[in-house]
Amino acid sequence: MNGIHPFRVLRAKPLWIASGVITGVLALLFAVLYVGANIDPAGHMKKLPVGLVNADKGAAVGGRQVNLGAQITDSIRKSTAGGDKIDWKVMDEREMKEELGKGKLYGALVVPGDFTSSVTALTGTAPTGTPVRPALTVLTNQAAGSLGSSLARVATTQAADNASLHVGKELTAQTGAQQAKLPAAARVLLADPAAVTVKDGHPLDSHSGLGLTAFYYALTLVVCGMLSANVISGQVDHALGYTHNDMGPLRLHRPLIRATRVQTLAISSTLMAGLSLLMGTLVMVGAVGIMGMDASHLPLLWLYSVCAVAVSGIGALTLLAVFGTPGMLVATLVFIGMAVPTANATTPIQALPGFYRFLAEFEPLRQITGGIRSILYFDAQGDAGLTRGWVMMAAGLVAAALFGFGVLGWYDRKGLHRIPVETEPEKNATTV
C-alpha cells in the first residue's frame, strides 16, 4: 500500500477537467438539440402538406354558371399571406382520403358540393325563413402527428375564414342596393357567408395516445437496443475474461480467453440478435397485452419490433467497440439526443430548422417511427412509411457492419490489442 487516501484523487485537476468537459458538452448538446428543435415550430414551418379540395358543383346565377368553391381554392393556393409555410395540395375527395390515410397530409380544407348554391341563396329576398349558412370543412389528421395536425388546423382555419370574408365582399358589392330588401339575418351572413367546421379526417382508436403511441413505442425499441448494447458488451467482456463483474460486494473474474476485436463484436452482435427476439416480444406484450395499446397486424408488428431492437442494438455495439468508453456517449447522442427531436413525431419535420431536417433524413428513430406509425395507424401500407422503415433499417445494419468490422479489423491488423502483451499476467503470478 502506498499510504495515499483515496479521497486525495479529488485534488487531481485532470479528473475535474476531463469530467467537466465531457458532462458540460453533453448538457449543452442535449439543451441545443431538444430545446432548439421545438422552440418555434410555427416560425420554422415550411411547406407543411395540407389538402385543398373543391367539391362545389356550382350554380347558375344571373344567367351564368358560377363556382365560388373554385374561386376560394384558387385564392387560397395563390395567396402569399402565409408565405411558404403551407404546401397546398389541390386534389379531389378520393385522393384526399387516400393521402390522409397514408399520413402524407396533416390536414385538409374541403369546399362542399352545395357551397355556391347555399351562398347565393343568402341573396334571396324571401321575407321569412332563416338563411342556411354553408360550411367549409377543416379536416385534421392526428395520426400524422398531433402538433403537425394542430399547426395545419390553425393555418387552414385562418385560410377558410379569410376566404369567407373575401367572398362576402364580392357578394356585398354585387348585391348593391338590393341589400336593403334582404332580411337582417341575410345581410349579416352575406358579409361572412361561410361557417368553418373542424372534423377528424382520419379517426384513431381511443388507445392511440392522440397519435403518439407509435413514437413512444418506437422510442422504447430504440432505447432497449441501445441500453442492452451496454449490458451485452460488458457481459461479453466478462465472459472472455477481459473485465471483472461486480455483483454487489462480490467481484467475479473469469480466465482470459484471447479474442480479436472483430471476434468480440461478432460475438456481441450474435448475442444481441438472439436477445432481440426476447426484447421485441416483451415490448409488444407490455404495450399491447398489458397496457392495452390499440394495434393491428400483430405478427408484422412483432417482426418489425424485433428487427428494430436488433438494428439499434448492433449499431450501439459498433459505436462501443470502435470508440471504447466514449462510445456510450456517442450512442446516446445518435440514438436519443439527435433522434428524438427529428423523429417526425412530437414536431413535424416541416416545422424544424434546416439542420434538424438534415438529421431526420438518416436518424434511426425517425425511420423506425415511420414504420410503426404505418403498422398502427395506416393499415401497414408500404408508402405510409413502412417501406422506408425496412429499407433504412437494412441500410443502417449494413453501414454498422461495414464501419464496425472495417475499423476493428484495422485495429487488429495494427496490433492494437485490448490487452498488450507486456501487461499479461505471468504464469506463476499469485492471484490475490
Q: What is the per-residue pLDDT for 282?
A: 95
Confidence of residue 411 (pLDDT cuts 50, 70, 90): very high
Q: Is the pLDDT of residue 7 over 90?
A: no
Q: Is the pLDDT of residue 423 over 90?
A: no
The pLDDT value recorded for residue 428 is 43
Q: What is the pTM of this model?
A: 0.87
Span 292-300, average pLDDT:
94
Longest CA–CA span in the chain (Å) reads: 114
Q: What is the pLDDT of residue 325?
A: 85
Say which residue, 74 or 266, is predicted with more confidence: 266
- What is the structure's pLDDT at 274? 95
Region 250-266 average pLDDT: 87
Report residue 57: phi and psi, to 5°.
-90, -5
Q: What is the pLDDT of residue 180?
A: 55
Length of the chain in terms of residues written? 432
| 134-183: pLDDT as tens digits | 889 999 999 998 888 999 999 999 888 888 888 777 777 766 655 555 55
Least confident of 125-129, 202-206, 317-321, 406-410: 125-129
Is pLDDT at 43 greater than 90 in this prediction?
no
Residue 306: partners with Cβ closer than 8 Å, 6 or more residues away: 276, 277, 279, 280, 281
Task: With beta carbons less than 8 A apart as the criterion, state whether 145 and 105 touch.
Answer: no
Q: Which of 110, 94, 99 is nearest to 56 (CA)?
A: 110
pLDDT tops 50 at residue 431: no
> What's the confidence (pLDDT) of residue 257?
86
Q: What is the pLDDT of residue 27?
A: 85
pLDDT at 178: 59
CA dihedral 201, 206, 211, 215 (to 10 degrees): -160
Cα distances from 193 to residues 66, 188, 389, in angstroms, run 16, 8, 46
pLDDT recorded at residue 421: 43
**Where residue 432 falls among pLDDT bands split at 50, 70, 90?**
very low
For residue 160, the model assigns a pLDDT of: 87
Least confident of 26-30, 165-169, 255-259, 298-302: 165-169
Confirm if 175 and 233 have CB atoms less than 8 A apart: no
Asked whether the predicted pLDDT for residue 127 surpasses 80, the reply is: no
Q: With pLDDT > 90 as the criterion, what percentage of the chain qualifies?
A: 49
Tell me: pLDDT of 374 over 50: yes
**Of 256, 260, 258, which is closest to residue 243 (Cα–Cα)?**
256
- With a cut of 80, say whether residue 261 has pLDDT above it: yes
Among candidate residues 163, 152, 191, the one with its CA nearest the CA of residue 76: 163
pLDDT of the residue at 38: 81
pLDDT, tens only, 188-218? 667 777 888 999 998 988 899 889 999 999 9
For the chain, what is the mean pLDDT?
A: 86
